């Protein structure tokens, strides 16, 4: 059985206290905590077979290479990729998207071509395309956000048209929590011959993912949001598209032969992983995938729906609460963004922190969407496999305490 109270025992950090209070960690959309099994995979690499990969013939290098490539296969299996070669290790989602921008977009887009995004994109899936548009003359077009944080796809056939060359959308919003209609948007992209990219940073760690069923050309996600270390990310590229890409970075390891005036490229995916890769963290990502596979991604998703539903129920008890995004748990990922009356989100976060409760406060790298909602900032609580109802109860109690504190301060003029 999926029991978050048992799962918590695998996460050493959840035993610590903050300001003398038990840690309640609700900032998982920013980064997840790491289980003992992942931490041990890291230390095992450095203690037993630390070596560079793909280059040495000695035992440590061979073992490191085997483990590194095993991790690639684990990731491929996790998202049902047709081949391990379609998995490129990057630093994070941001770098994965930039790889597509530099390796494909800058070389294939021209003036009057169009790139379609949504208004709710994380800066990682917006700023690179702004650069591409500036350098190629292509235009950015946006699918608008309508009521309750859902995309308004009523004009989809107009927004995605014969000028559209790329559609790149977030599958689950890191701010509103909205689960977007990926298949509907993909189908329209296919009708006009556009490539289709998915930012899976908030979906791959939380729900089953099948890139063949999704039929995306690119899928980007980060390891640190799915129990793995920071500094390791993934770009999946459909094999037929991958063959057409030029290398993003150039130098060691990505080459086949080098002369003084030119070079030829290594096989895929090595040609996209220049220099010494993040070996230890890739191997630890493989351990994180093993952990999630053991839990079962269907169970992970079910737990997050239940956690989110309970959070919506408890937070709606607070009259001053304004919950942003979809109104039901099944239409959103495992997070809830909100404003609390006239209390600034940074003050909310600071007061909760004094009780050991970690949430996010700010614009969450989604400034355009905050402007659309006329918000300077918001607060966000996000859930993962180790969060319990008691964590959500602590959040609700902490928010009520924060309201009482500021009400007293206003009355006394402090």
Per residue in 254-292, pLDDT tens?
889 899 999 988 888 989 999 999 999 999 999 999 999
Question: Would the pLDDT of 412 be above 80?
Answer: no
Domain extents for the chain? 4-27+296-412, 49-294
pLDDT tens readout for residues 325-375: 999 999 999 999 999 999 999 999 999 999 999 999 999 999 999 999 999
Residue 168's pLDDT band (boundaries 50, 70, 90)?
very high
Per 3-state DSSP, what percentage of the chain is helix, strand, and coil (rounded to 5)? 45, 20, 35
Which candidate in 309, 365, 373, 375 is catalytic?
365
Whether 216 is catalytic is: no
Could you say which DSSP state residue 12 is in? Answer: G
Q: For residues 220 and 202, what is the distance between their CA atoms, to the nearest angstrom?
A: 10
**Fold for the domain defined by 49-294:** 3.40.640
Beta-strand pair 321-324/335-340: antiparallel
What pLDDT does residue 408 have?
73
Kindly give the residue spans of alpha helices, DSSP state H, lying in 169-217. 182-191, 211-214
Q: Are 358 and 25 in contact (CB under 8 A)?
A: yes
CB 237 within 8 A of CB 86: yes
DSSP string, 333-392: -SEEEEEETTB-HHHHHHHHHHTTEE-EEE-TT-HHHHHHTT-S-EEEEE--TT--HHHH
Instruction: Tell me if 195 sits within 8 A of 165, measured CB to CB.
Output: yes
Please give the CATH architecture assigned to the domain spanning 4-27+296-412.
Answer: Alpha-Beta Complex (3.90)
Task: Please compute, for residue 287, the number of CA atoms within 13 A of its CA located in the half-sphere on the CB side.
Answer: 23
Write out the two tokens for 372: 């659309």
- Nearest partner of 70 among 279, 309, 365, 253, judged by Cα: 279
Structure tokens at 302: 């079910």
Contact between residue 399 and residue 350 where contact means Cβ atoms under 8 Å apart: no
Q: According to the model, what pLDDT value does residue 193 have?
A: 98
* Cβ–Cβ under 8 Å, residues 248 and 235: no
| Residue 102 structure tokens | 């530099």
Give per-residue pLDDT as tens, 28-40. 999 999 999 999 9
Band the pLDDT of 406: cuts 50, 70, 90. confident
Q: What percent of the chain has pLDDT over 90?
A: 92
Other Cβ atoms within 10 Å of 107 Cβ, number? 11
pLDDT for 56 equals 85
């Amino acid at each position: 059985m999926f029991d978050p109270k048992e799962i918590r025992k695998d996460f050493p950090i959840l035993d610590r206290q903050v300001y003398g209070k038990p840690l309640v960690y609700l900032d998982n959309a920013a980064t997840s905590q790491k289980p003992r099994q992942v931490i041990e995979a890291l230390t095992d690499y450095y203690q037993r077979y630390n070596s560079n990969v793909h280059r040495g013939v000695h035992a440590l290098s061979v073992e490191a290479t085997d483990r590194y490539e095993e991790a690639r296969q684990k990731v491929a299996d996790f998202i049902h990729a047709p081949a391990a070669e379609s998995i490129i290790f990057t630093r994070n989602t941001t770098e994965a998207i930039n790889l597509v921008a530099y390796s494909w977009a800058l070389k294939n887009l021209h003036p009057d071509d169009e790139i379609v995004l949504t208004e709710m994109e994380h800066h990682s899936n917006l700023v690179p395309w702004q650069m591409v548009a500036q350098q190629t003359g292509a235009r950015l077009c946006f699918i608008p956000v309508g009521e309750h944080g859902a995309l308004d796809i009523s004009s989809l056939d107009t927004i995605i048209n014969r000028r559209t060359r790329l559609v790149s959308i977030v599958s689950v919003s890191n701010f509103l929590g909205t689960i977007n209609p990926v298949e509907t948007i993909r189908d329209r992209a296919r009708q006009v011959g556009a490539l289709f990219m998915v930012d899976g940073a908030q979906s791959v760690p939380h729900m089953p993912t099948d890139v063949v069923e999704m039929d995306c050309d690119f899928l980007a996600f980060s390891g640190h949001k799915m129990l793995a270390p920071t500094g390791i990310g993934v770009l999946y590229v459909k094999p037929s598209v991958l063959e057409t890409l030029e290398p993003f970075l150039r130098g060691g390891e990505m080459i086949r032969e080098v002369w003084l005036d030119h070079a030829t490229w290594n096989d895929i995916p090595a040609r996209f992983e220049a220099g010494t890769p993040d070996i230890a963290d890739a191997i630890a990502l493989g351990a994180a995938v093993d952990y999630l596979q053991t839990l079962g991604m269907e169970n992970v998703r079910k737990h997050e729906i239940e956690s989110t539903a309970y959070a919506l129920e408890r937070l709606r008890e607070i009259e001053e609460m304004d919950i942003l995004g979809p109104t039901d748990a099944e239409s959103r990922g495992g997070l809830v963004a909100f404003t609390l009356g006239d209390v600034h989100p940074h003050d909310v976060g600071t007061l909760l922190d004094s009780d050991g409760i970690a949430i996010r406060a700010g614009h969450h790298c989604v400034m355009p969407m905050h402007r659309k909602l006329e918000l300077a900032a918001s607060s966000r609580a996000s859930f993962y496999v180790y969060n319990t109802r008691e964590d959500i109860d602590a959040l609700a109690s902490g928010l009520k305490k924060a309201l009482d504190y500021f009400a007293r301060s206003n009355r006394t003029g402090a």
